[in-house]
Amino acid sequence: MTDIELLAQRARRKAALAEAGLLARPKTEELRPLIDHTLLRASSREEDIRRLCREACQEGVASICIPSAWVPLAAQELSGEKIKVGTVAGFPLGALPLEIKIAEMNWAIANGAEEIDVVIHVGKLLDGRKDETLAEMEALRKASQGICLKLIVEAPCLNDEQKVTVARLASQARADFIKTCTGFSGAATLYDIALLKSAAGDEVKIKASGGIRTEAQALAMAAVGADRIGTSHMLAILGRS
């Protein structure tokens, strides 16, 4: 059995146990500090962002995640609060010149972003161009200026070997998080979280994102190894709606 096959076997077993409720999982109230309260709709308006910030403060979540144009407003709304202002770059496709992603990041950081979720150029990884993928990750790490960097790897597009490879590259690049996906190409799965967590090692955390709508989903994902949960259904997950 190869190294990747062994990791995959362990991930499948862990995912099955989590699905069956046989792994230790947090209480619902303990999900709060794991949640990135997310609003990435094109139709988002100023009052939507203000409401998102109020909800984040009321519930004590880890961060909000919004389009970069709204970062200055969110930074103002959350001034003095513990909630982090998060945004995205290269979203949702990732197939942008690196210089454009870095420019997006620089602008967001200058305007108050404290965490950035960046979509990597997945096509290069699918073509087997690992050196270029690593170089992009390292450049994004440098451009993050020391704030929390989450690399979105679009796991639904990858096979097991590619998932293990991208996790190890993200660890080598010293990313803070690997984020499962944007939600545009599929949803987060327990298996992907377990596999990415195992492959990345202890140095990189895992953010589950994409299709997370219920308390049961969020609890299972935390049980299998998700360190953050990105969702636009925070209120429902916490039983507030």
Give every residue of the chain whose pLDDT is below 70, as ranges. Answer: none
Pairing of strands 148-152, 115-119: parallel
The amino acid at residue 166 is V
Q: pLDDT per residue over 223-235, tens digit each?
A: 999 999 999 999 9
Determine the pLDDT at residue 47: 98
Q: pLDDT per residue over 93-133, tens digit each?
A: 999 999 999 999 999 999 999 999 999 999 999 999 999 99
On whether the CB atoms of residues 239 and 216 are closer than 8 A, the answer is: no
- Separation between Cα atoms, residue 220 and residue 126, nearest integer Å: 29
| Active-site residue, selected from the candidate residues 84, 101, 117, 176 | 117
Active site includes 117? Answer: yes
Q: Give the DSSP letter of residue 177.
A: E
Determine the pLDDT at residue 241: 76
CA distances from 72 to 77, 84, 234 (A): 9, 13, 23
Determine the pLDDT at residue 1: 87
Determine the pLDDT at residue 138: 98
| Active-site residue, selected from the candidate residues 179, 192, 197, 205 | 179
- Separation between Cα atoms, residue 162 and residue 22, nearest integer Å: 28
Nearest CA-CA partner of 75 in 45, 67, 84: 84
Where do the domains of the chain lie? 3-13+32-237
Active site includes 197? Answer: no
| Active-site residue, selected from the candidate residues 14, 84, 150, 207 | 207
Domain 3-13+32-237 has CATH 1.10.760.10: no
Active site includes 179? Answer: yes
Tokens of 23: 């792994």
- Separation between Cα atoms, residue 43 and residue 198, nearest integer Å: 37
